[in-house]
Structure formats: C-alpha cells, structure tokens
Amino acid sequence: MLKAEVKRMTDQSPAEGETGPEEPEKLVPRHRMANELRDDINNGIYEPGQKLPSQRDLAERYNVARNTAAEAVKILIAEGLIDNRDRARPTVRGPRRLLRLGAERYSNRLREETGVSPFRAEVEKQGKTPRVDCPSITKIRPPADIAARLGLSAERDFVVRRENWYFADEEPVQLGITYIPWEIAEGTVLATSANMGKGSLYGRFEDRGHRIAAIREEISSRMPTPEETKGLKVPAGVPVIDVIHTGIDQDDQPFEVTCFTMRADLNGLDYRIRIED
Amino acid sequence: MLKAEVKRMTDQSPAEGETGPEEPEKLVPRHRMANELRDDINNGIYEPGQKLPSQRDLAERYNVARNTAAEAVKILIAEGLIDNRDRARPTVRGPRRLLRLGAERYSNRLREETGVSPFRAEVEKQGKTPRVDCPSITKIRPPADIAARLGLSAERDFVVRRENWYFADEEPVQLGITYIPWEIAEGTVLATSANMGKGSLYGRFEDRGHRIAAIREEISSRMPTPEETKGLKVPAGVPVIDVIHTGIDQDDQPFEVTCFTMRADLNGLDYRIRIED
DNA sequence: GCAAGTATCTGGCTCAAGCCAGATGCGATA
DNA sequence: TATCGCATCTGGCTTGAGCCAGATACTTGC
C-alpha cells in the first residue's frame, strides 16, 4: 500500500508516457476527481470517520469549480462511501457491522429456552441497547399481495396489522409490518396489545394452535422511498432490503405474514438450510 | 442583516412535542419538483416506458432553472424510478419481474431429474434466453474471508477460482465467483473446463465424494462499485445483492464457496425453510 | 423512393456568482 | 472558569450562461 506517491498534478496534461493496456478513457472532471477521491479512501489516505476537506479546498486542489467538487463528492455519497448526515461535514463511512438475522430466530426451542427475541440478542451481541416499538395495531382489509399469501380474500376478510419499529441504541434499524388473519387474532393480545408476554409473538400463535413449522422468506432490495429515508434515517447511498416473511404452521397453513424493511447498512441475512434430497 | 429579532428564545424546544399532523415542511425547489414528478409517476400520469418531457420543458413548467430541473430528475433516478441509460431520454422505469432464486436450486433430486440448472429454468420461465459464461478459471491463494469459510489457510493453501457471468437475453444479470479447494478440484474438470457435464457443478463434487447436504447463504445489499456498474450494466439507482454461498457436504464439511453479485432490479431470493424444533 | 447530409434539439456537464442556515471557533464578559 | 455572542466557515442549493456530443427530424439530391 504505497500511499507515498500521492500524485497531484493539477494540470491536466496528457502526460501518458507509457500507455498501459488500459486506454485512459477520458473522464469528465467530476469523475476524474471522484475516482481519485475514491482511491484515496480505499487506500486509507482518508480514514473512516475522518472528515473530508471543505468543498472550497477540494475545488482548489483539483482545479475545478466548487460546484464540480460538490458533484464529485455526491458521486461517492451515492456509492455509499461517504456519509453526509444532516448538514454536517461529509465523513468517510467505515464498514459497519451488520446484524445477521437467520432462520434460527424462529426456532421454537430457542424461543422457549431463552425467552429473548433474536433481534434483541443480536443487538446486544454488538454491545448496543435494543428497543422495539409497536406504535399501531389496527384491523384492516389485507393488501392484495398479503391476502394471496395468507389465502384470504382482499374484499371479504380482515387482518390485524401490527407495525413494529426496531432500534439499536435508539438508531432505527428496521421496520416490520405483521399481518394476522382476524380469525386467528380475534380476542387475543395479538389484536390488542403491544406486549406479547412470554414466548412473544409465536408463543401466542401457539396458544391458538399454530406452531411454526416452516417459513418462507422472499428477499429483494431497492432504494428507499423518501418516507423510508426519513423514518428509518437511511443515509444517502444506502439501499433497503425487503423481506416478505410468511409463517407456516404444522398443517402447512400460512398464519402470518410480516413485511420487513431493513437498512442495508445495518442488516444482513444468514441462512443455513438443509438440502432435501 | 442579522435576523437577531428572529432568534428563538425558546431555543431547543422539544420541537417534536406536539407537531401538528403534517406541517407543510417547506421544500427546496428541487425536492418540490421531484415530489410532484414522483406523484405523477406513481399516479400513472407518466406510464412506464414513457419518456419524460425535455429538461427545458420541465424547467419552464415548474418555473425553475434548467439546472434545477435536471437535479430534480436526478433525485428520481437515484431512487430508481427513472432510467437514464446512455444518453437516451430519461424514461419511467416500470416494475421488472424478478428472477426468484431459492434453495431448491441445490436440490439433488431436482438436479438429477431435470439436468437443467435452476438459473436456466428461471430465465426460461420468463421467456428469455439464458446464457452462462465462464471466462476464467484460475488457481490462486484464497482471499482471507473465503479461506475462513472453507477451513483453509490463506497463506499455504490453494483454491480454484471460477468466474461465471449470467445473462438473460444477453443482458447481464449476475456474477458468481466460485472457490473450490485445490485438493478437491485437482485433476478434475472443476479445475480446467467451463463445461461441467451431466449434473453440472454439483455432479462433479459428488464424483469427488462431496454430496451437498446443506448450504449457508449470507445476504447483504449495497450500491455497486463503478466496475460492477460497468460490468453488470447496473442502472443508476439500483443496488446489488451480495450472496456468499457455502456448500456443505454430508460430513458437515464446507467444500465450495460462491460469491454472487446480483442486480437487485432483476434478482430476488426465495427461501422456504423448515424450522427445527 | 431512398440515401445522405444538415439543422435542430436534447441531456450531460462545467462554471462563476451568490444566498442561506447551521456549525465552529474565539474572544469578551460575568 | 464557564458562558454567551458574534464573526466566520461550511455545505446545500439555485441561477443563468454556455459548451459538447449524440439523437432526431428534416431537407435535399440522386
């Protein structure tokens, strides 16, 4: 890692003495500058957590207008290399440790033995304080895609919709919206209370005769909507992971669907799956 | 011009104490314009595939400078709502059908019965033509994280590195880099040939006494690097999904690791998992 | 009817100038 | 010493001007 030769020839003379196999591929200034900055970051010249020089400085160093310097920084922000929360000085983003959520979080035994939710366990493993907020429980008609997964009718049936926000050290991490057939939730805490009691959510399903036997998880990723950016405080240049989770009971019946929206800079998934013959 | 008279003596008031339902939340022009455009797109005023009016038109309609109009469009591009391939006119991006890849793609029975790779099957299901390209097979020292997963030493051991590019109708879809311990690959087509023969990759592992019994899949998501943007032709505003896949045999030994990089606009994952008690 | 050539339009990009509000630093004051 | 107030700095944003190369449409000549 020879960071000694930080060439900074501000004049854009061709200067390509020996043309490598790669053609220079002439770049517009914003990209030339973004590339240099990116290399510097990857080579550790700017350390994670370190603030970048001011736009006005950068502009002078790279011999561009301040506007252009700002554009170059924006490129790296969009790539997720630089963080620019609020109006603070843009900062080099370091690799963050991911919460690794796996299928064992649904294990019946684990639930019974520890009594602590896997999300909490995972957060505490990182030395942070978990918090789960359930700001709303409502009775609604299921959205069409949810109805399909639960085997319900979007016109005739009802579901309980439970909204859960997950925090680590008060930083929003993910959002989960759980849909439960009214038939199952009716008359239980599932339909009324944020506090699920011993064994948590799946404990209550078991009370109603639905023991979790299998799950389906449909995973995709996309850029957050503006609402999600605000609600989850997703930094610029960070996508979200969508997980549509379906809980399936011992009779092969789906009894619950949860749609997770996770910040991709804080969450990952980790599945160990036995392959059936 | 000190606006001293505006100074809040009630400074640092809780602020989110009893905010009204929705304050207008004054927006800068670029966001105001981006919001209107986004609504129009979501309300179907601009149909998927339709071209946006010219920047100069938009600027006039929204009463901003052309620069600002361009910035507003860029916001929607970064959100993934608008596509601006090449220098073509920005176009409203429609929802794309995802390739849904699941764990059953590793099923031994499925492999033996159909003989066709799950990727091919999934692509053909969409009426497209699959193609897999294996441009390089090399013998290298394993990267540290790979070595750890295979139980090898990054200094002493070797692995075969196989690079695979996956296309649907000649559009790049994903990239997979497979690492196989040299001990296993030595002397087989695994180390030499792109063509795997009947039963494909996992058929050859079985020849060497490694029947797949379990897999581990570690999933995360991020924005693509510039190289990936170029190689996979990832459109602006689209993340990639990283999957680190580990194949585990009947003796609980890992025998293969593959790192997938998938375009998130074309790929999704779909796992059905039995929950152990 | 068709091909070639041309004028126009478009998006991408850069620049210089300037306003604003929040952050920062520093000195004066209590 | 601790706190307040102010000057300054910073990033974010907007504007209007202008250049460029590729796309498009239109004309002209064969």
B144-194 pLDDT tens trace: 999 999 999 999 999 999 999 999 988 899 999 999 999 999 988 888 877
Closest Cβ–Cβ partner in B109, B264, B272 for A221: B264
Question: What pLDDT is stored for residue B268 in this prediction?
Answer: 96
Of B13-17, B54-58, B149-153, B245-249, the one with minimum mean pLDDT is B13-17
Contact yes or no for A173/A267 (Cβ under 8 A): yes
List chain B residues with CB under 8 Å of A106.
Answer: 275
Is the pLDDT confidence value at B93 over 80? yes
Give B251's contacts (C-beta < 8 A, 6+ positions apart): none
How confident is residue B109, by pLDDT bands cut at 50, 70 and 90? Answer: low
Same domain assignment for residues B122 and B65: no
Same domain assignment for residues A74 and A105: no
Question: What pLDDT is stored for residue B276 in this prediction?
Answer: 75
Is the pLDDT confidence value at B23 over 70? no
Q: Does residue B181 sit within a domain?
A: yes
Around A59, how many Cα atoms within 13 Å sit in the side-chain half-sphere?
A: 11
Same domain assignment for residues A121 and A150: yes
Same domain assignment for residues B233 and B165: yes
Q: Does residue A6 sit within a domain?
A: no
Write out the residue range of the structural domain in which residue B83 sits: 26-92
Q: Does residue A36 sit within a domain?
A: yes
The whole-angstrom separation of Cα B229 and Cα B225 is: 6
List chain B residues with CB under 8 Å of A221.
Answer: 221, 239-241, 264
Chain B residue with minimal CA distance to A266?
Answer: B220
The whole-angstrom separation of Cα B205 and Cα B215 is: 14
List chain B residues with CB under 8 Å of A219.
Answer: 219, 241, 268-271
Question: Which one of B92, B117, B137 terminates a domain?
Answer: B92
Q: Is B271 on the interface with A (CB under 8 A)?
A: yes
Same domain assignment for residues B84 and B143: no
Question: What pLDDT is stored for residue A26 in this prediction?
Answer: 66
Same domain assignment for residues A71 and A167: no
Q: Cβ B223–A79 below 8 Å, yes or no? A: yes
Q: Does residue B13 sit within a domain?
A: no
Is the pLDDT confidence value at B46 over 70? yes
Question: Which one of A68, A92, A116 terminates a domain?
Answer: A92
| Strand C and B53 CB separated by under 7 Å | yes
Chain A residue with minimal CA distance to B77?
Answer: A223
Same domain assignment for residues B36 and B166: no
| Strand C and B87 CB separated by under 7 Å | yes
Of B27-36, B64-73, B213-222, the one with minimum mean pLDDT is B27-36
Nearest partner of A247 among B101, B218, B275, judged by Cα: B275
List chain B residues with CB under 8 Å of A107.
Answer: 275-277
Question: What pLDDT is stored for residue A115 in this prediction?
Answer: 57
Q: Could you read off the pLDDT of B111-134 as tens digits, one per residue? A: 666 556 778 888 998 899 999 999
Write out which nucleotides of chain D lie closer than 7 A to a protein Cβ: 6-7, 9-18, 22-24
Same domain assignment for residues A83 and A142: no
Is the pLDDT confidence value at B240 over 90? yes
Contact yes or no for A70/A55 (Cβ under 8 A): yes
Q: Does residue A276 sit within a domain?
A: no
How confident is residue B7, by pLDDT bands cut at 50, 70 and 90? Answer: very low
Of A92-106, A112-126, B70-84, B259-273, the one with minimum mean pLDDT is A112-126
Question: What pLDDT is stored for residue A21 in this prediction?
Answer: 41
Same domain assignment for residues B155 and B114: yes
Same domain assignment for residues B106 and B230: yes
Same domain assignment for residues B77 and B112: no
CATH code of the domain covering residue A78 = 1.10.10.10
Same domain assignment for residues B195 and B111: yes
* Nucleotide nearest to A65 in CA–C1' terms: C15
How confident is residue B47, by pLDDT bands cut at 50, 70 and 90? Answer: confident
List chain B residues with CB under 8 Å of A98.
Answer: 220
What distance in Å separates residue B226's CA from the closest CA in chain A?
Answer: 9
The whole-angstrom separation of Cα B233 and Cα B172 is: 7
Token readout for A33 is: 């500058």
Average pLDDT, chain B: 84
CATH code of the domain covering residue A117 = 3.40.1410.10
Spans in chain A with pLDDT lower than 70: 1-26, 86-87, 108-116, 198-199, 277
How many residues does the structure list for chain B? 277
3-state class of A164 per DSSP? strand
Higher-scoring residue by pLDDT: A27, B75: B75
Q: Does residue A218 sit within a domain?
A: yes
Question: Which one of B39, B70, B92 terminates a domain?
Answer: B92
Residue of B28, B36, B145, B220 to mutate, interface with A, max A Cβ within 10 Å: B220
3-state class of B133 per DSSP? strand
Nucleic chain C contacts, protein chain A, residues 57-76, CB cut-off 7 A: 63-68, 71
Q: Is B269 on the interface with A (CB under 8 A)?
A: yes
Chain B residue with minimal CA distance to A276?
Answer: B107
- How many other β-carbons are positioned within 10 Å of the β-carbon of residue B162? 24
Q: Does residue B2 sit within a domain?
A: no
User: Strand B171-181 to strand B254-263: parallel, antiparallel, or no bridges (unpaired)?
Assistant: antiparallel
Overall domain count for chain A = 2
Question: What pLDDT is stored for residue A133 in this prediction?
Answer: 92
Q: Does residue B139 sit within a domain?
A: yes
Using CB atoms and an 8 Å cut-off, which of residues 197-236 of chain B contact chain A?
Answer: 212-226
Q: Cβ B219–A79 below 8 Å, yes or no? A: no
Is the pLDDT confidence value at B16 over 50? no
